[in-house]
Amino acid sequence: MADTLIEDLTPEQLREEEQFYADSGAATTSIDMGGGKFSLLVSFADEPVEPPKTELAHGTGIDPPDLDGYVVVLQRLRTEQRGSLRRTVGVYQAFHDRKLLADVNGFCVERPGPGDNSQTGVANERRIAAGTYPLFTHAGDNGRYNTLHFRNPGGLSLRPWPCIGVENTDRRSGILIHCAAGFLMSIGCINLSRPLVNAQSNLDYDDSRARVIALITSIRNVLGDHFPGDVNLKIPTAFLVVRDDPPAGVVASSGTVSRPDAAVAGGINAQLGSAIQTALRSNEIGHSSPYQLCFAGKGKSGASFGATQGDLAANQPIVESTFGRALQAAGFSPAEIHEFSAALSVPLRSDPLSASDTQRINAALLSCKSLIDAMDQEILGGVFADVDRCIRAASEAGRHIEPKALIYMAMWINMTGPPDKLLIWLQGGDSGLPGVPALGASVSGTDMEGYLRSTKYFRENPGNLPHMLQSAADGATMLA
């Protein structure tokens, strides 16, 4: 995204704009123009990640509202984090008299949860609570937003931006559906977007603006003469419905694409899915980039990459295919691809390649982020399915598994493969592990910590357990 210069700002306006763009992940530079006026240079370091080629499958997975009129349904999917910044990612779909409007849908972002319309939500800058809200035309915020008289043609530095007001939000005020750029531009509002792949995906301002205008235009066309001719008026029979729990068929994974037509493990909701992925990534790579080769240096592991650490020595077809496609896209010859695949697909204690070859491969992985993200999505799907097997096994034995225990199970499954002994333990059988805890009606995080300590891996590598415990704690913060 090109740099943007915002001019003619007072000191107070400068501070407001600096904070606004800081939350978007942009770098800002203030310029003293003299006479008490300032300009602000806004720079987005990373171009938006290339989005998937398809939009929503015409609302698949978003149930129609139990409400007539023009209704925008917002379905929350996952929480994402980039550095210190956090956001909630969802999808939206418009309906009229409960019939889907195929051309008005997409992704959206908000502040992280929990939803809170009280004074606490204002103070903590939370997203609004799930519920049904009337829509209004809007003008205000010192001329920054306007439903009817937005700047056209527009741009990031050209105010007012198009918007729609959301009212009846208790102690919250100024809640809008509006356009944005970067990671997030909201204190409680809703930013519309094209598909967002993961936490590194930026909203594109021109795309976001076009979506808000399309929504305003659609409401105006459907309601005709009933659409208000002035600002700050209720739009008759127009509502926003916000849903927290995902419908069947939505994968909630913060580092990958969440599509309403994708499969999901039956016992994993959006919040738990986000917690699992956060913990799993923390356990596997910490703060490192997923787009580079890693070497565990233990057991039968070869070279691995991705947030899930897909292992080239683990006979995972998706990992082998992704590695080859990334190198091919980067211009490696078939002979080179075969040579490097063979060298990295055996148990390794360290990197067997030269520094220059490793650098070339890492550059290829970095240039093919979408391929790596898709690989992670497929691997996560398998992990979620195995976690769901654990949930079913425990349920058949009359047990409930607490969320933190499920986080541990997902990390362990991703490290070691299918949970054969884990399933036996959950069903009350003999897992063959020494000192494994006896289970009652509920399987807690503490129970799973005991199970992990009893495994051969952690008996031989006890120094690695604190890292896994911390990773589970990192994931558990997403459950708040």
Q: Structurally, how many domains does the chain consist of?
A: 4
Instruction: Look up tokens 């990390």; give the residue.
Output: 411
- Whether 363 is in a domain gets the answer yes
Same domain, 341 and 206: no
Residues 188 and 142 grouped into a single domain? yes
pLDDT band at 247 (very low <50, low <70, confident <90, very high): very low
Residues 281 and 296 placed together within one structural domain of the fold: no
DSSP secondary structure code for residue 162 in this structure: P
Let me know whether 299 and 435 are in one domain.
no
Full residue range of the structural domain in which residue 309 is found = 292-367
Same domain, 89 and 11: no
Token pair listed for 298: 């233990």
Identify whether residues 321 and 427 lie together within a single domain.
Answer: no
Across residues 369-378, what is the average pLDDT? 86
Residue 410 shares a structural domain with residue 350: no
Q: Assess if residue 252 is contained within a domain.
A: no
Choose the weakest-confidence range: 19-23, 88-92, 130-134, 406-410: 19-23
Nearest CA to 388 among 422, 361, 352? 422
Domain end position, chosen among 367, 389, 420: 367
If DSSP codes are grouped into helix, strand and coil, which group holds residue 244?
coil
Cis peptide before 114 (omega within 30 of 0): yes
**Is 53 a member of any domain?**
no
**Any idea which of 45-54, 76-85, 323-332 has the lowest mean pLDDT?**
45-54
Side-chain-side CA neighbours of residue 222 (13 Å): 24
Examine the domain organization and report whether 283 and 343 are in the same domain: no
Residue 115 — φ and ψ, nearest 5°?
-65, 135
Neighbours of 35 (CB within 10 A): 6
In a domain, 140, yes or no: yes
Distance CA 272, CA 282 (A): 15
At 188-222, the pLDDT tens digits run 899 999 888 788 888 999 999 999 999 999 999 99
49 within some domain: no
Residues 310 and 447 in one domain: no
- Residue 63 within any structural domain of the chain: no
Query: Does pTM top 0.75 for this prediction?
Result: no
Select from 336, 367, 398 the last residue of a domain: 367
Domain assignment present for residue 216? The answer is: yes
Q: Rg for the chain (alpha carbons), in Å?
A: 25
Asked if 274 and 301 sit in the same domain, the reply is no
Mean of all residue pLDDT scores within the chain? 87
Same structural domain, 218 and 196: yes
Ramachandran bin of 107, using left for φ above 0, alpha for ψ from -120 to 50, beta for the remaining angles: beta
CA–CA separation, 111 and 85 (whole Å): 9
> Are 148 and 234 within one domain?
yes
Final residue before a domain boundary, out of 310, 332, 367: 367
pLDDT tens digit string along 3-45? 788 888 899 888 888 878 877 888 888 899 899 999 888 887 6
Q: Does the residue 162 lie in any domain? A: yes
Interacting residues of 478 by C-beta distance below 8 A, sequence separation 6+: 79, 271, 274, 275, 278
Distance of alpha carbon 88 from alpha carbon 77, whole angstroms? 7
